[in-house]
Amino acid sequence: MTAGKLIACHECDLLQREVPVPEGGVLRCRRCHAEFYRNLPDSLERALALSLAAVVLFVISNVYPIVGLSVNGTVVETTLMGAVRVLYRDGKWPLASLVFATTVLMPILQTTGMLWILLPLKYERAPWGGPWVFRLCHLCQPWGMTEVLILGLLVALVKLSKIAGVVVGPALWSFGALMLVLAAAAAAFDTHILWLRVAAVEHKGGPPTLDEPLPPGTITAAQCGLALCHDCGLLASARQHGHHCPRCGATLHLRKPASLSRTWALLIAAMVMYIPANMLPVMYTSSLFGAENDTILSGVVYLWTSGSWPLAIVVFVASIAVPMLKILALCYLALSTQLHSRWYPVERTRIYRIVEFVGRWSMLDIYVITMLVALVQFQALATIQAGNAAIAFGAVVVLTMFAAMEFDPRLMWDEAEQDHASTGPQA
C-alpha cells in the first residue's frame, strides 16, 4: 500500500485506501462516517451553469424590492441593500455589516470565485490565481446564508401582515430561486474532480504522490508525519512541504494550533453576550398607541398568540434553543477532549457535525429584525428600530460559529488511538 493511494479523514485523521466510487456514490470514512466526496456526473459543468444562473438571480434580487407595506395609500418598499442602509443610518453599523456580509458579500465572492475557476477550465485553461481564489471560496462558503434569509423573510411577512397590507416584490421570488441555485452550485462544485481537472490542464499528472514508507502499526496521518489540507483535501508530507499545502498554498498543520484554548475563549465570550442578547430589547416599536420594547422571547410569544405557531416554534428553536444548545454542546466537546476522554468518539463526532450545521440558522431573528426595521418607517404612525440586543445576538452567532471552526475534532480521536496502538494500518 503506497502513500500516494492514501487519504485521511478530516474529522478523525484515519488513514485509508482511496477506492473507486461509482457514479452517484459517496465515499465515507470507515471509522467516523465523515463524507470525503461524491461522484456526481458532470459536476463541474453543472456548477458552472448554476453559478451563471446565480449571478443573474442575484442582480434581480438586489435591484427590485423584496417586500412592501401599504398604509392609507402610502407604500414603503425596500431592497436588501436598502434594509442594510436603514440599519447603518440608525447607528447599528455592526448589525448592518453582519447582514451585508452574510447576504451580499459572501455569496458574491463565492459565486464569482467559482466562475473565476470554472470558466477557464471549460476552455481547457488554468485559472489565474486558482489556488488563492479556491481558498477564498472555501472561506466564504459557511458565511453565505441565503437560505436563512429566506426563512427570515417569511417570518417577517407574517409579522408585517398584522401591521398593514403586504406587497410582495419580485426580489422575494428571485431570492427563493437564488437559494436553491446557490445550494445546488455548492453541491456540484466537487473539489476532488476540480483538482484533477486543474492538474490535467497544467499537465502535472495529478496531485503529488507521497513516496514515504508507512511505519508499521500506524493508522493516522499525524503518526506518519502527514498533514491533511482542510481547504483542498490533499494529504501531504509535513516534513517535505513545510507549513504550506503544495497544491493550494493553505497552511498545513497536524492539529489546529491552540485549538482548545481558542475554542474556550470564543465560547466564554459567546456566553457573556448571550445574557444581554436575551435580556435586552431587540426592537423598539413606537406608534400612536405608545412605545413597546420586544425581546426575542416576546417575539416568539407574539407569533404563538397570533396563531402562527409553526413559525413561533421555528423562531424559538433557531433563536433561543439552538444558540444555547450549541454553546452547551461545544462546552461538552471541549471539556471531554481536555479531560482526555475516550468515551463514544463516534457519537461526539456526530454532535460536532450537528453543531457545525445548525449554527448558521440562529441568524434567523437578525434577518427578521432587519426587514421590520426597514419597512415600518411611517414616521408619526409607527416606526421600528433595532435594539442593542440584536447586536449582542449577532455576536453570539458569530462567536459560536468561530468556536466550532476552531475546535479540532481529530483531538477527540487522539486518545482513542491508544486503544488501537497494537493494531496495524487500516486499508
pLDDT of residue 2 exceeding 50: no
State percent of the chain over pLDDT 90: 34
Highest mean pLDDT, choosing among 150-154, 243-247, 400-404: 400-404
Higher pLDDT, 83 or 164: 83
- Chain centre distance of CA 31: 25
Measure the CA–CA gap between 303 and 280, rounded to whole angstroms.
Answer: 19
End-to-end CA gap in the chain: 8
Averaging pLDDT over each range in 116-120, 192-196, 212-216, which range is the top one? 116-120
Average pLDDT, stretch 135-156?
90
Q: For residues 219 and 203, give the distance between their C-alpha atoms in angstroms, rounded to a whole number.
A: 32
Task: Give per-residue pLDDT as tens, 159-184.
Answer: 777 777 788 889 999 999 999 999 99
Is the model's pLDDT at 4 over the cut of 50?
no
Reference 285, options 155, 382, 371, 379; nearest CA is 382
Q: State residue 48's pLDDT score.
A: 94
Report whether pLDDT(251) > 90. Answer: no
| Band (290; pLDDT cuts 50, 70, 90) | low
Q: Could you tell me the pTM of the whole model?
A: 0.86
Whether residue 204 is predicted with pLDDT greater than 70 in this model: the reply is no
pLDDT value of position 424: 43
CB 288 within 8 A of CB 380: yes
Measured distance CA(318)–CA(373) in Å, rounded: 20
Q: Report the range of poorest mean pLDDT among 124-133, 255-264, 266-275, 307-316.
A: 307-316
pLDDT at 26 over 70: yes
Question: In sequence order, what DSSP letters do the residues of 350-419 get, joined into one string?
Answer: HHHHHHHHHGGGGGHHHHHHHHHHHH-B-TTSEEEEE-HHHHHHHHHHHHHHHHHHH--THHHHHHHGGG
When mean pLDDT is compared across 34-43, 236-245, 257-266, the lowest value belongs to 236-245
If pLDDT is split at 50, 70 and 90, which confidence band does 405 have?
very high
Is 422's pLDDT higher than 50?
no
* Nearest one of 219, 252, 220 to 236, comparing CA atoms: 252
Instruction: Output the CA torsion 155→149→85→371 (10° steps).
Output: -10
Residue 221: what pLDDT?
85
pLDDT of residue 203: 65
| Confidence label for 242 from pLDDT (cuts 50, 70 and 90) | low
Span 414-422, average pLDDT = 62
CB-based contact 296:393 (threshold 8 Å): yes
pLDDT at 134: 92
Cell of 333: 466537546
Above pLDDT 70, what percent of the chain?
88
Query: Which pLDDT value is given to residue 427?
Result: 35
The pLDDT value given to residue 425: 40
Which residues belong to CATH 1.20.140 in the chain? 256-418
Q: Which CATH number fits domain 256-418: 1.20.140, 1.10.3470, 1.10.10, 1.20.120?
A: 1.20.140
Q: Report yes or no: 387 and 280 within 8 Å, Cβ to Cβ.
A: yes
Q: Residue 240 pLDDT more than 70?
A: no
Residue 215 scores a pLDDT above 60: no
Quote the pLDDT of residue 364: 86
pLDDT tens, position by position, 333-343: 999 999 888 88
Q: How confident is the model at residue 140 (pLDDT cuts 50, 70, 90)?
A: very high
E strands along 283-328, which residues? Answer: 283-287, 290-294
Q: Determine the residue type at 15.
A: L
* % helix, strand, coil for the chain, step of 5: 60, 10, 30
Q: Which residue has the cell 425596500?
A: 78
Q: What residues are paired with 165 via a beta bridge?
A: 70
Q: Which residues contact 310 (CB under 8 A, 6 or more apart)?
A: none
Selected residue with higher pLDDT from 305 and 424: 305
- Average the pLDDT over 360-373 and give the result: 87
